[in-house]
Amino acid sequence: MFKWRRGMIIRKLAHKAAGIVVIPCPAEQAGVLDQFDALRKEAEREIRIANPSITVEDILRRAVTECREKGVRIRILTRRYEGGFGTNEDTLRELSNLLKGVGEIRIRQSLHAKFFIFDDKCVYITSANLVKGAFYNDEIGVVVRTEDAVRDAIEYFEELWKNAEEYKA
């Protein structure tokens, strides 16, 4: 059993150097999705999500609802379920309906990267898929706020986006 508590992780294990924060998340704490939720609350204009396997959990429903209220755009890049991995068709349809008027989805079957960009200020790179299982796995995430790194992540996302298939429900 891990003896880590959320406060201890932040105080003792988070490494802050040049705008980078490492967030270890043992299964007992589900911190990866908590971190996503905290960062998306800071967003004012746009959230870009690149994640190959997504399920619509309460945290994502709440995120989309609150983003709609704030006028924050959401773009999701994912992959379609195939061979036991990816976002299934029911989830894609539900996401598409949730995102009406606030965002869109594109499909890229080769996607394996897992990162989130909040406005042009922050990128959150993680080992976790955006699924309920992220609450039960040992995961890790890195929050980067350096201008060059965020710009590089945006350029990478935009290149993937440009070469992805538009999802039509």
In a domain, 142, yes or no: yes
Q: How many residues make up the chain in this entry?
A: 169
Q: Quick one: pLDDT band at residue 127, thresholds 50, 70, 90? A: confident
Answer with the residue of higher pLDDT: 79 or 14. 79
In a domain, 1, yes or no: no
In a domain, 25, yes or no: yes
Number of structural domains found in the chain: 1
In a domain, 6, yes or no: no
In a domain, 7, yes or no: no
Q: Quick one: which of 76, 70, 77 has its CA closest to 45?
A: 70
Q: Quick one: which of 103, 88, 108 has its CA closest to 164?
A: 108
Q: CA angle, 51 as apex, 118 and 18 as ends, to 5°?
A: 45
To 10 degrees, what angle do helices 31-42 and 58-70 make?
10
* Calpha distance 155→129 (Å, rounded): 21
3-class SS at 68? helix
The answer to whether residue 26 scores a pLDDT higher than 70 is no
Contact between residue 62 and residue 84 where contact means Cβ atoms under 8 Å apart: no
In a domain, 50, yes or no: yes
In a domain, 52, yes or no: yes
Structural domain of residue 107, as residue ranges?
Answer: 15-166
CATH classification at residue 59: 3.30.870.10
> pTM (2 decimals)?
0.85
E-assigned strands of the chain? 16-17, 20-25, 46-50, 73-78, 103-107, 115-118, 122-126, 139-144, 165-166
Q: Out of 17-26, 43-52, 132-141, pick the least confident.
A: 17-26
In a domain, 81, yes or no: yes
